[in-house]
Amino acid sequence: MKQPQIGIIDIGSNTIRLCTYALPDRSEAAPVKTFTEKKSVGLSAYVRDGIMTERGIKAAAKAIANQMQHARLMGCQDIRLFATAALRNCRNSAEATHTLAERVGARIDILSARQEAEFGFMGIKAELDATDGMAVDIGGGSTELTYVKDGNVVRCCSISAGSLSLWNAHVAGIIPNADELAACTRAFLRALDESGFEIPRVPRLFGTGGTIRNAARVIAFRAEGTDAATFTAAQLDDLLSYATEEPGSYARAILAVEPARIHSLTPGTAILRAVFERSGARSIAVSKSGVREGYLHNLLATRTA
């Protein structure tokens, strides 16, 4: 008998991604990812004066409708949608979410900042030995930081600065120059200080999300290796120097790895470098699992409770 499939659509600030999973027969077994696709919508770029515009809702609805159709073709009878910073933080959040949900014919869960951080850590913990350190998820519109000790969440915070929002606010072209990169760093640190979250000193970081995964891929591409499972603060410094000193070559490296990230990767990398510096961590372990897997884990746990 074919295993039941569930579809999860993650409405992010930068991309909208569908993942489908085969659900196990036994409660202790983990779901298996069977399909994934993403659409680079750049939803946070459609926010004007704090308002999610009609153009943004229309762009999101089109991408979601296509992904829901693909999920059904994969055999998913249950399709769940959730959204993060772009819809959560806009001033017309309730209205925009309601309108979007009506157009796609499905409920949309708006994750709170704490839920986004905790679900991201759940996904990381399922893949990595994330016992002591800090989990980092740099999204398009926010950055989630989760301090963990002995495998448990001590505290977490969502910082209202992400890779795409910093690019929109501080970069005139595509690849930021040194001054623009410094402005991105200052803006993130200002948002961090305003949040009141004090980054602890930790031995290492655990990373998830497109910015960190693709930074690892560009680092590996330069070294003519496979995707990096870990990288160091020194390697990140080298990547940022590459961006400002050889922007043409750097841009070609991103285009070879993930063209959709050519504008947002560098501001996101600046965020990660600031986190490295504040935490004193020496390296970061990169997880392929994150908030979607954490959301699914929580959903299944709720069903069986």
Residue 1: C-alpha distances to residues 21, 28, 269 (Å): 16, 19, 45
d(CA 267, CA 161): 10
Q: Can you give the CATH number for the domain in which 203 is found?
A: 3.30.420.150
Residue 295 lies in a domain: no
Total domain count for the chain?
A: 2
In degrees, to the nearest 5, what angle opens at C-alpha 268 toward C-alphas 267 and 274? 90
Residue ranges of the chain whose pLDDT lies below 50: none
Residue that is last in its domain, among 110, 135, 153: 110
Q: Read off the DSSP letter of residue 225.
A: -
Q: Can you give the CATH number for the domain in which 18 is found?
A: 3.30.420.40
d(CA 62, CA 45): 16
Residue 242 lies in a domain: yes
Cβ neighbourhood burial of 206 (10 Å; 0-12, 13-18, 19+):
buried
Residue 291 lies in a domain: no
pLDDT at residue 305, as a whole number: 52
pLDDT at residue 27, as a whole number: 64
- Give the model confidence (pLDDT) of 3-51 as tens digits: 789 999 999 998 999 999 999 877 667 899 999 999 999 998 899 999 9
Residue 298 lies in a domain: no
First-to-last C-alpha distance (Å) of the chain: 25
The residue written with tokens 């790895």 in the block is 257
pLDDT at residue 197, as a whole number: 95
Claim to verify: residue 122 and residue 78 sit in the same structural domain:
no
Claim to verify: residue 139 and residue 89 sit in the same structural domain:
no
- Identity of the residue numbered 51: I
pLDDT at residue 147, as a whole number: 96
Claim to verify: residue 97 and residue 125 sit in the same structural domain:
no
Claim to verify: residue 21 and residue 33 sit in the same structural domain:
yes
The whole domain housing 257 covers 114-286
Per-residue tokens: 149: 């000790």
Q: Read off the DSSP letter of residue 128.
A: S
Claim to verify: residue 237 and residue 126 sit in the same structural domain:
yes
Claim to verify: residue 99 and residue 119 sit in the same structural domain:
no
**Residue 20: strand pairing partners:** 7, 35
Claim to verify: residue 172 and residue 158 sit in the same structural domain:
yes
Claim to verify: residue 192 and residue 44 sit in the same structural domain:
no
